[in-house]
């Protein structure tokens, strides 16, 4: 069983409670299909849009997920597709966190707008 943590877009969390992430976890579809069994150890937000070069919030959340047992962290599809800081977020996490950081959780439904 693989223990995963998910970090999603805080802004998008106002519109989405994981309506596509949770089915992907349960059904092991989309970008989670590589796992035989999944234990979700945490579902957090990025901490909000950072100031210049301030990525402490997302790193703190990533460290908390690892402390809670995450063996891999997925950046939510909403964060990967719509966040202008996605590459910087990923780089900050990879620099400070010892588990793989992967992009996306689910594929995007055809009728879905910018709701992740």
CATH, residue 70: 3.40.50.1860
pLDDT tens profile 83-96: 999 999 999 999 99
Residue 87 lies in a domain: yes
Query: 12 or 68: whose pLDDT is higher?
Result: 68
pTM of the predicted protein model: 0.90
* 83/115: higher pLDDT: 83
With respect to residue 115, please indicate whether it lies within any of the assigned structural domains.
Answer: no
Quick one: tokens of 104?
A: 């996306």
> Could you tell me if residue 112 is inside a domain?
no
Q: Does the residue 89 lie in any domain?
A: yes
The residues near 95 (Cβ < 8 Å, ≥ 6 apart) are none
Percent of the chain with pLDDT over 90: 79
- For residue 54, what are the domain limits? 2-103
- Mean pLDDT, range 32-36, rounded to an integer: 96
- Residue 108 placed within a domain: no
Q: Which two tokens stand for residue 43?
A: 């579902």
User: Does residue 113 fall inside a structural domain?
Assistant: no
> For the residues 19-40, what does the mean pLDDT come to?
96
């Amino acid at each position: 069983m693989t223990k995963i943590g998910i970090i999603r877009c805080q802004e998008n969390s106002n519109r989405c409670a994981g309506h596509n992430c949770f089915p992907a976890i349960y059904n092991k579809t989309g970008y989670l299909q590589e796992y035989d069994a999944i234990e979700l150890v945490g579902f957090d937000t990025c901490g909000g849009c950072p100031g210049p070069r301030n990525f402490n919030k997302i790193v703190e959340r990533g460290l908390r997920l690892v402390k809670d047992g995450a063996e891999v962290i997925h950046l939510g599809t909403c964060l990967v597709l719509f966040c202008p800081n996605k590459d910087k977020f990923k780089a900050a996490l990879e620099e400070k966190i010892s588990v793989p950081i992967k992009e996306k959780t689910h594929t995007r439904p055809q009728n879905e707008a910018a709701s992740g």
